[in-house]
């Protein structure tokens, strides 16, 4: 899969449609909502937002949404700026954008972008159910 052909984004925190953040509102005006999806991984609580970590076993899933991105490179550029991993942002970046596969509501695996947390996590709580919206 060529990275330049990826047209979907998996969002799991402040970019989810119901988060109420201005960035989520912007994203959902420029991209098409595809629905609920899951991704292999673990979610950590970083206070006002979550971080995605790789799964340690096959049972660990993160709950989020898939959005279909427009054929406009400036959208990913804006998202990278929001996530603090744009080439203009100072290193080390808190997140990096990666290609992965998510599973949609129909059980179809979809190639997509998502943002992986990169900083140390030994003091952060894992969200056991993998859903930022129902973490409490």
Percentage of the chain exceeding pLDDT 70: 97
- Would you list the domain boundaries of the chain? 3-120
Q: What is the distance between the alpha carbons of residues 63 and 130, in angstroms, rounded to a whole number?
A: 6
Contact 50, 13 (CB under 8 A): yes
What pLDDT score was predicted for residue 3?
A: 62
Tens digits of per-residue pLDDT, 8-64? 999 999 999 999 999 999 999 999 999 999 999 999 999 999 999 999 999 999 999
Q: What pTM did the predictor assign?
A: 0.95
CATH placement of domain 3-120: 3.10.490.10
- Encoding tokens for residue 33? 């909502």
pLDDT value of position 118 = 96
pLDDT at position 2, please?
66
């Amino acid at each position: 899969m060529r990275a330049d052909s990826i047209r979907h984004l998996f969002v799991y925190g402040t970019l989810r449609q119901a988060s109420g953040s201005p960035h989520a509102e912007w994203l959902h005006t420029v991209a098409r909502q595809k629905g609920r999806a899951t991704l292999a991984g673990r979610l950590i609580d970083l206070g006002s937002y979550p971080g995605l970590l790789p799964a340690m076993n096959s049972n660990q899933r993160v709950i989020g949404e898939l959005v279909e991105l427009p054929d406009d490179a400036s959208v990913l550029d804006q998202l990278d700026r929001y996530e603090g991993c744009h080439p203009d942002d100072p290193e080390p970046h808190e997140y990096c954008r990666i290609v992965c596969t998510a599973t949609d509501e129909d059980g179809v695996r979809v190639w997509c972008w998502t943002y992986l947390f990169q900083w140390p996590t030994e003091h952060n709580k894992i969200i056991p159910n993998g859903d930022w919206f129902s973490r409490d």
